[in-house]
Structure 1
Amino acid sequence: MTELFTPYKLRDLTIPNRVWMAAMCQYSAAPEGPETGVATDWHFAHYAARAVGGTGLIITEATAVSPEGRISPYDLGIWDDAQVSALRKITDFVKSQGGIPGIQIAHSGRKGSTDRPWKGGAPVGADEHGWQPVAPSAVPFDDGHPVPHELTTDEIAGVVGQFADAARRALAAGFQVAEVHGAHGYLVGQFLSPHSNKRTDEYGGSFENRARFALEVVDAIRAVWPDDLPLFFRISATDWLEEGGWTADDTVRLATLLRDHGIDLFDVSTGGNAAGVRIPVGPSYQVPFSSRVKNETPMPTAAVGLITEPEQAEKILASGEADAILLGRELLRDPYWARHAARELGAEVYTPSQYGRA
């Protein structure tokens, strides 16, 4: 048995292998009306294909805790009970194929109200289903982006409650893993980084103050999420800024802190909070950040970022740089990546009876 196809247990949940699907927005939900934020046939087919392909854990796209928490008007939501049943259809199918369904619970903050990427991804106004974004500070993400509304302390408490309500609905929808989206410059990450958080109250300034919102969100979710099911946290380990941003040292410090608050695994990515930065992209370029967290803290990690080859993924796990592999674009290219990897590495992966003769 290879490392990549060894089951992995977190709390009382056993994930059948270490090939996991990272959250990736599909921008395919209705932007208005009674179907706003509701999963569609596209979402079902998209996630079902990866489950049939042998992926052990499938994390749905960033799913918003409120309408203004979406990245685009076309994102999935989990702020309304009416959004649960379509998600339940997906989780039931993933489980029927031996996989584990996970959900990324998210709020876009100042990076919300943008168009779909293939339409350019620019901010959109009310005439295109847009809204005024919110943030820890009234600082726009980039030139051409609107100045966000600075959240009051009462509004912050309201958003924390929205995360908890979203987790309750996620459980009702059948998800077995929940992940807090604290990466890529969205709301939780905006609070963490001094680049985007200019507050002078108890939510800004020191590391402890900037981490307060993340801790409150985690505590609120952990209070309603079952003790026997794991809770992940996706982190951007660095803003890739020379100064004035979130750093790898901050990430290591936060990992230890969040472990004590009930986070079971760090999904380690980078970037997204500062516009125009130069990122040294290449194969496995984010793996060293996962390795630091895994080897300097008690926090297990999953590595992500230009991991495309089975032997590459196996080496990352075997060398102790991560506990699991999260695939993004590679799973868009090949829904059956896990099956192909198992064949290459001499391992086995679940095969539906209908496909056995192949």
Structure 2
Amino acid sequence: MTTTKAITMNDVTLFTPLSIRGVTIRNRIWVAPMCQYSAEARDGMTTDWHLVHLGSFGQGGAGLVITEATAVSPEGRISPQDLGIWNDEQTQAFRRITDFLHGQGATTGIQLAHAGRKASTYRPWASERGSVPLDAGGWQTVGPSPLAFPGYATPAELDSAAIDGVVDDFVRAALRAIDAGFDVLEIHAAHGYLLHQFLSPLSNERGDDYGGSLENRARLLLRIVSEIRAAVGDEVPLLVRFSATDWVEDGWNEQQTATVARWARDRGADVFDISSGGNITGVTIPSTPGYQVPLAEYVGAKGDVPVSAVGLITTATQAAQIVDEGRADAVMLGREMLRDPHFALRAAHELGASIDYWPSQYLRAAWPS
């Protein structure tokens, strides 16, 4: 018969709380935003699917549960079936989800997004590919420059007034998110969507104040960070998701990411969620376990900013090691959470961490087998 050493929360950094501004998150296991493409009425509204999908992560012990990329305007949706938060009805519909998650002890987050030139596309399991035509419910996409993402329609270049409108959309969406009960906001500047398109020289060929130098390419993001911070006050944590690299020479890279993260921190952002890729095709991405952790570690160290790591983190031991070694302040899980929404509870059991938020209905699973 073998015995297992009882490990307290303080022995497992993964299960220590993390305080950011006015919010304390119960552990360092966070749910990454994962698009569901399931607003079937094409109105940006949450459904029972979203309640069960997101609610299961809170029930399963995750510290922070972040919704999928949620569009700040109708034209910001990746697909017609994406969620949105541009009107009062959408805002109120989210309440059912945030209330449930709070009841499970989880911290609620929302990813505010605009897809830019990668908007108005068919959802992944559709038989069609590419951009949805206007006569089939699609819309004219926009971007920093009239450069199409391969296989998609050519976007219209945003002029200065339209850029101001994008900033306003993000700020209004942030205020709606607070009204909807979200504790944490995340700005989506990754995966080839609008803000990443402005950041990368591969998709931004502008000759004005929003193109050319790194300072200019970062201007839109930094305006959004500053104006959201001014609008929501000092107590709300603000995350930014970056793709740290385009995985190609002369593209956006981790050095630029670290610099812009530092600038964003100085304007009110708190934690940087480090992913990679998505802005171009035809690149080789080394998708091995934890392959993006070195990018998070680099941005954290060089930018002197807190970071979360994401990318094929699939085991409790792996997640704990990343945080214990100080490579990231938290881990974000995506596909592994889809396979096991109760990953955090299982990790606590496997690591011997003592936590006090097992649902009463599941306590028998907390005991040693």
TM bracket (short chain):
over 0.9
Aligned equivalents of 2:304 and 2:246: distance in 1? Answer: 23
Q: Which residue of 1 aligns with 2:148?
A: 140
Is residue 20–residue 327 contact of structure 1 (8 Å, CA) maintained in 2? Answer: yes
TM-fit CA distance, 1:166: 0.2
Aligned equivalents of 1:180 and 1:340: distance in 2? Answer: 30
Q: Which residue of 2 aligns with 1:249?
A: 255
Deviations 1:97-137 (A, max 9, x none): 01000000000000001111011552111233211110000
Aligned equivalents of 2:142 and 2:98: distance in 1? Answer: 31
Q: Which residue of 1 aligns with 2:6?
A: none
Q: Which residue of 1 aligns with 2:340?
A: 334
Q: Which residue of 2 aligns with 1:195?
A: 202
Unmatched tracts of structure 1, length 5 or more: none
Alignment of 1:132-211 (within 5 A): 132-142=140-150, 144-211=151-218
Is residue 102–residue 177 contact of structure 1 (8 Å, CA) maintained in 2? Answer: yes
Structure 2 counterpart of 1:299, one-letter code = V
Aligned equivalents of 1:204 and 1:242: distance in 2? Answer: 19
1:118 is paired with a residue whose SS is coil
Aligned equivalents of 1:297 and 1:247: distance in 2? Answer: 13
Is residue 57–residue 341 contact of structure 2 (8 Å, CA) maintained in 1? Answer: yes
Alignment of 1:315-330 (within 5 A): 315-330=321-336
Alignment of 1:272-291 (within 5 A): 272-291=278-297
Aligned equivalents of 1:88 and 1:253: distance in 2? Answer: 36
1:302 is paired with a residue whose SS is strand
Deviations 1:212-237 (A, max 9, x none): 00111111211112311200000000
Matched, 1:237 2:244: yes
Aligned equivalents of 2:319 and 2:101: distance in 1? Answer: 23
Aligned equivalents of 2:220 and 2:303: distance in 1? Answer: 21
TM-fit CA distance, 1:297: 2.6
Alignment of 1:1-358 (within 5 A): 1=9, 2-32=12-42, 36-119=43-126, 121-142=129-150, 144-243=151-250, 245-349=251-355, 350-358=357-365
Is residue 69–residue 108 contact of structure 1 (8 Å, CA) maintained in 2? Answer: yes
Aligned equivalents of 2:293 and 2:361: distance in 1? Answer: 37
Structure possessing the higher radius of gyration over alpha carbons: 2
Aligned equivalents of 1:118 and 1:197: distance in 2? Answer: 30
Is residue 255–residue 299 contact of structure 2 (8 Å, CA) maintained in 1? Answer: no
Aligned equivalents of 1:107 and 1:167: distance in 2? Answer: 13
TM-fit CA distance, 1:351: 1.4
Is residue 31–residue 129 contact of structure 1 (8 Å, CA) maintained in 2? Answer: no
**Cα RMSD (Å):** 1.0
Structure 1 counterpart of 2:311, one-letter code = G
Aligned equivalents of 1:326 and 1:226: distance in 2? Answer: 26
Check 1:124–1:31 CA distance in 2 against 1; reply closer, same or farther (3 A cut): farther
TM-fit CA distance, 1:157: 0.2
Structure 1 counterpart of 2:178, one-letter code = L
TM-fit CA distance, 1:240: 0.4
Aligned equivalents of 1:118 and 1:146: distance in 2? Answer: 19
TM-fit CA distance, 1:296: 2.1
Structure 1 counterpart of 2:308, one-letter code = A
- Identity across aligned pairs (percent)? 56
1:4 is paired with a residue whose SS is helix
Structure 1 counterpart of 2:177, one-letter code = A
TM-fit CA distance, 1:284: 0.6
Name the count of aligned residue pairs: 353
Runs of 4+ in 1 over 6 A off after TM superposition: none
Check 1:283–1:357 CA distance in 2 against 1; reply closer, same or farther (3 A cut): closer
Structure 1 counterpart of 2:21, one-letter code = R
User: TM (normalized to structure 2)?
Assistant: 0.94
Aligned equivalents of 1:178 and 1:165: distance in 2? Answer: 12
Q: Which residue of 1 aligns with 2:4?
A: none
Is residue 141–residue 155 contact of structure 2 (8 Å, CA) maintained in 1? Answer: yes
- Deviates further, 165-174 or 1-10: 1-10
Unmatched tracts of structure 2, length 5 or more: 1-8
Deviations 1:276-302 (A, max 9, x none): 211111001000011012222321000
Aligned equivalents of 2:152 and 2:361: distance in 1? Answer: 50
Structure 1 counterpart of 2:165, one-letter code = G
Structure 2 counterpart of 1:127, one-letter code = D
TM-fit CA distance, 1:357: 4.1
